[in-house]
Amino acid sequence: MDKAANITIIKRRKVVGEEHHGGAWKVAYADFVTAMMAFFLLMWLLNATDAGTRKGLADYFSPTVPIHRISGGGDGPFEGVSMFGREAAVVAPETEPGRPEARGEGGDARSLAEIRKALAATSGDAARADPLLRHIATRVTDEGLIIDIFDVPGSPLFDARSARPNPILDRLLGMIGRVVARTRNAVAVTGHLAPGDAMGEDGGAGTDPWVLSGDRAQAARRLLVAAGVAEDRLARITGKAARAPATDRPDDPRNRRIEVTLLRAFPPR
């Protein structure tokens, strides 16, 4: 047995090449990376924007107010991005035959709320970007939707102690008038002064404040009509002098203002 030859067994493995799997995994991986990039971009945008901007983006992709787009390539204020960059195409509810209540308070209130939303659909960032937006505020009262157009420091709507409108008011009422012209509500225009606005330059007697505030309201009426608001929709033009200030501070420039009110009542046809 000791003299027997050693037997060596050699095992050889046969290597067979695997089949090619293709590049499908690369496509899936690219989709995953793209989705993650979009997710982190979304999270960054949510953190970098304010609530008003986010709501504006949401309304853009899921609008609740029918709108009519206009060009944003102009060179003046409101011709680019602004609260009037998209003019409202909201109209008051039509009366259906045999249903006079279609013009009732409920439908009218919804219409006014939609108009207010279209007029006020702007964020603080947009207001800072367009100085004209600082002149405008909206509010809903029992009477209707009130659009306040007021002075801001260094940017008056009228010449001092005069009913001659400055170009800024011409532009503002032109844009507002085109929005209001798309509605059917009756319109009221009211002029307001701050204490002392009608006094002479030397502090003496000047223009009657009731006359001056009324003349400013008439000037605003003419600008609205020029913008497309029908004369027969104007229910009243009023001057209130300084009897209805917007704030408790007599020197606040917001007391000098024009109120354009979309009344809940409709003018007769």
- Among 43-52, 176-185, 209-218, the least confident range: 43-52
Best mean pLDDT range from 3-7, 51-55, 175-179: 175-179
Q: What is the mean pLDDT of residues 131-145?
A: 84
Angle separating helix axes 209-226 and 167-180, nearest 10 degrees: 60
- Residue 38 tokens, joined: 């979009």
Architecture of the domain spanning 51-263: 2-Layer Sandwich (3.30)
pLDDT at 264 over 80: yes
pLDDT higher than 90, residue 258: yes
Is the Cα dihedral 202, 205, 211, 214 positive or negative? positive
Higher pLDDT, 244 or 52: 244
Q: Domain limits of the chain?
A: 51-263
Place of tokens 């009037």: 84
pLDDT at 237 over 50: yes
User: Average pLDDT in the 108-133 region?
Assistant: 57
Using 50, 70 and 90 to split pLDDT, how confident is the model at 192?
very high
Question: What angle separates helix 105-120 from helix 167-180, to the nearest 10 degrees?
Answer: 140
Most confident of 40-49, 82-91, 125-134, 177-186: 177-186
| Confidence (pLDDT) at 186 | 93
Query: Measured at the alpha carbon of residue 43, what is the angle toward residues 42 and 49, in degrees to the nearest 5?
Result: 85
